[in-house]
Structure 1
């Protein structure tokens, strides 16, 4: 007699056998539907058999951390994008996330990341997509054989969204991360030393909003920069290098260096400050050029002084020889500099801006000023009334055009020249807005009256030269050059004027 336990075991075996037969029959029937029936009849038969359509099945894209021996750029972008999902998620986010402070991000930007085995959901154009992170052997490090060990993202979605994910979602993630990198990156300032670039963090906070310059000129420069960034296809279609040259000229203290910093902060470009005096040869100059990154600014300040080390010699036929320096100590020639600006070597990178600054534009060689080398000339002149109001608003918050000193300052600025740096120095001397404007107005009044202040605060009045007493003639001393003193007699006029020597 069979026991109850044996009967239950037999019934379980029968159920498993029946279920296996049903699954095998369903798989055989699905195979027949896929291979035998025409494509148009497959959905109808699948519906009758209660089979899910192929588009409703879950698909997945696996993004590994390493592509061979190199980091996978798609994985890095996915990790940065998922960090934004974790920061913005209210529900559906992992209960535990990692927080870190990446190098170079400063002390204020904390990055969130998933731990292996967790997932987060994103919605894109109505499609639900799930990001899941898995960890492999040697997580976060490459294997010695260059294999694909490390972490991996698994992006799963409904099959009907396959074209949307591959054609739109993943490109959107890459573009979003690239835009975030441009906005959050800290610009660097490079200087050349022994043929190499040495970087430091660029901490100049000048922007076009704080720069004291004419409003129309500001708008023109910003529009030109934005147009340059958006013309990738134009430069490629016309076969030109994707670069643009700016010559910033004007008197000292008019904000030329501040304008360079404002351009860098506006474009989020690094600045390569090239010291031509430290470059040992044209070959080294070319090496420095090709070692620059894309999306950067090449700056040569006081180019008129830098070019003094690389003049061109005039040949007998009236032309110039740019290959021969005028002194054996000159190691960079003007031809080398011109090739850097618009020669073949200037095509070694993309999205580059070349900026030359000078206080004396008339000292520059005309070959450097032509279009194609310096595409745009920007004159930073003395302070005008519009720039003065911007200084008052920036430093002391004075935005009312009805300030009682404004009419006087406007009239004085039409008569005297003052650099924005000079006026800014007076405004920074006090925290009181009225006192700061009065100090700036006093500077203009004194300059109009011919009174100047030196760096120590002492006031010196210009001397009006008038009649002077004649100096007594020196008496020759025997044995101390008496013959020379008697042979030469210096005569001074009663009125101060040109000094005349009579022999």
Structure 2
């Protein structure tokens, strides 16, 4: 008679045998189904469950897009962020939008402009492309989302999709995202002004409306600058053939108020280039300068204003003969001339292409000759005092005055004899809406300057900008003679004795019988 234990063992063996047969049959059927169904086509859900196949949601692939690619910004990440912003704007009223999103206005934008939407870390938004369902999820890593330039921090997008759509996503969807963002940038193109703050570039919208048509400058000089810019943009193959970096250096010099900064804005608006206004005083080392340089976009302008004041007085090389920044002691120093020269035409100047480097200064003679040699500053542009042609453009721009105004002959003669900055004359033109009164005010300025009867002694605008001219000496108190001087000396001595006595009493109170000086000495030990 079989025992109950033996019966249970037999039943367990039968169950294991049946399960093994079932698994073997399922594996055989899976092979047959894979041979019959087209590649990439999932089986029906019931058949998949019978064949022990995982659900479709478990077979998902993902593409991770980091914010930084080494020390560079990842262009795919920037494009993904802009594209996801359009998804949030389109789906903010539907269930596909995340529960919490960020809304902001671009820096420098007005309240009437379109609000920009962005995801918060940990949220996701869905998208559909050619029937494929995709999910964008933003995550933050590397110290609470603090972005670093070494690739170890920042944010990242995780694009997940079904495994059968892998080729579609990699071959069509991601290129579609890049092309869509590029088209959006062309449609909404507006130059931006970047400034370096806390080792990073901070952008605002460049709203300077200066153009070559409104700029008060000599007509021949304007045509020369515009032609040089056109030649630079059209010589990509030339720079590649000659092995040179595709960049151009301009030194814009001249007295204050002659339109140097306005010329930079006109170049930006003419080429639709962003402007990176580099404050060398905020850069702590040559290494930080290189990081800022490689994080610039292509088709941009690097501007260093008043370069004669921004350049450090340090030597090009360290006392031990090494290059600047080559030893630990110089890593925390300011930017040196050597670092600036490497930025202009060293190896790091080739980190981007189609860039324009602009230096402005009021005193070109104060610059180091190494900075001005050919290959670093390719073209020198002198913005001088206002000529008659530039004044006529001012009159036409501000008041629509034609070429036959009665005051024009007198103003033309005066401009040949006296110097006046365009900013000075523009200030007079803006003082009134009456064209005749504005021209008369400008003519009066020139007459007074010629006669030497100007209120500030002539060239006051330039003197104010350059901080030159006689300075009023500071008045020093003179002790009165006789008893007054002795009384003042006695008063100062009395005050000193009171302060010294109070400090001694405080030392005795805190140290008991010991003297205050000795107690302080022990404290230092």
Q: 2:369 aligns with which of 361, 366, 382?
A: 366
Q: 1:286 aligns with which of 255, 279, 290?
A: 290
Which residue is 1:231 aligned to? 235
Instruction: In structure 1, list runs of 5 or more residues that go unmatched.
Output: 1-65, 81-101, 111-132, 156-169, 459-473, 483-503
- Whether the aligned pair in 1 keeps the contact of 2:63 and 2:158 (CA below 8 Å) is no
Instruction: In structure 2, list runs of 5 or more residues that go unmatched.
Output: 1-60, 66-73, 84-103, 116-128, 138-156, 461-477, 487-525
Which residue is 1:296 aligned to? 300
- Whether the aligned pair in 2 keeps the contact of 1:383 and 1:417 (CA below 8 Å) is yes
Question: In the aligned structure 1, how far is the partner of 2:265 from the partner of 2:343?
Answer: 22
Q: CA deviation at 1:193?
A: 1.5
Which residue is 2:252 aligned to? 248
Q: CA deviation at 1:145?
A: 3.1
Q: CA deviation at 1:308?
A: 3.7
Question: In the aligned structure 1, how far is the partner of 2:242 from the partner of 2:254?
Answer: 33
Residue 391 (structure 1) aligned with residue 394 (structure 2): yes
Question: In the aligned structure 2, how far is the partner of 1:184 from the partner of 1:356?
Answer: 29
- Whether the aligned pair in 1 keeps the contact of 2:259 and 2:422 (CA below 8 Å) is yes
278-287 vs 186-195, greater mean Cα deviation: 186-195
Aligned counterparts, 1:3-152, within 5 A: 134-138=130-134, 144-145=159-160
Which residue is 1:306 aligned to? 310
Q: Report the CA distance shift for 1:401/1:109 in structure 2 as closer, same or farther (over 3 A).
A: farther
Which residue is 1:381 aligned to? 384
Higher helix residue share: 2
Q: CA deviation at 1:184?
A: 3.8
Residue 210 (structure 1) aligned with residue 214 (structure 2): yes
- Whether the aligned pair in 2 keeps the contact of 1:311 and 1:322 (CA below 8 Å) is no
Which residue is 2:449 aligned to? 447
Which residue is 2:404 aligned to? 402
Q: CA deviation at 1:136?
A: 3.7
Question: In the aligned structure 1, how far is the partner of 2:75 from the partner of 2:262?
Answer: 39
- Whether the aligned pair in 2 keeps the contact of 1:307 and 1:334 (CA below 8 Å) is yes
Q: Report the CA distance shift for 1:143/1:274 in structure 2 as closer, same or farther (over 3 A).
A: closer
- Whether the aligned pair in 2 keeps the contact of 1:212 and 1:390 (CA below 8 Å) is yes
What is the DSSP-based 3-state SS (H/G/I as helix, E as strand, rest coil) of the residue aligned with 2:229? helix
Question: In the aligned structure 1, how far is the partner of 2:299 from the partner of 2:203?
Answer: 15
Q: Report the CA distance shift for 1:352/1:281 in structure 2 as closer, same or farther (over 3 A).
A: same
If the length of structure 1 is used for normalisation, what is the TM-score?
0.57
Question: In the aligned structure 1, how far is the partner of 2:240 from the partner of 2:323?
Answer: 30
Q: CA deviation at 1:307?
A: 1.3
Which residue is 1:496 aligned to? none
Q: CA deviation at 1:451?
A: 1.9
Q: 1:431 aligns with which of 430, 433, 437?
A: 433
Q: Name the count of aligned residue pairs.
A: 334
- Whether the aligned pair in 1 keeps the contact of 2:318 and 2:324 (CA below 8 Å) is no
Which residue is 1:323 aligned to? 324
Question: In the aligned structure 1, how far is the partner of 2:243 from the partner of 2:75?
Answer: 31
Q: Report the CA distance shift for 1:357/1:143 in structure 2 as closer, same or farther (over 3 A).
A: closer
What is the DSSP-based 3-state SS (H/G/I as helix, E as strand, rest coil) of the residue aligned with 2:416? helix
- Whether the aligned pair in 2 keeps the contact of 1:245 and 1:374 (CA below 8 Å) is yes
Question: In the aligned structure 2, how far is the partner of 1:67 from the partner of 1:221?
Answer: 50
Which residue is 2:202 aligned to? 198
If the length of structure 2 is used for normalisation, what is the TM-score?
0.55
Q: Report the CA distance shift for 1:324/1:347 in structure 2 as closer, same or farther (over 3 A).
A: closer
Could you report, residue by residue, the CA deviation over 1:437-489 in whole angstroms, capped at 9, with x for unpaired residues? 1111111011111122459xx9xxxxxxxxxxxxxxx9x9446789xxxxxxx
Aligned counterparts, 1:480-491, within 5 A: none
Question: In the aligned structure 2, how far is the partner of 1:376 from the partner of 1:383?
Answer: 21
What is the DSSP-based 3-state SS (H/G/I as helix, E as strand, rest coil) of the residue aligned with 1:402? coil
What is the DSSP-based 3-state SS (H/G/I as helix, E as strand, rest coil) of the residue aligned with 1:451? coil
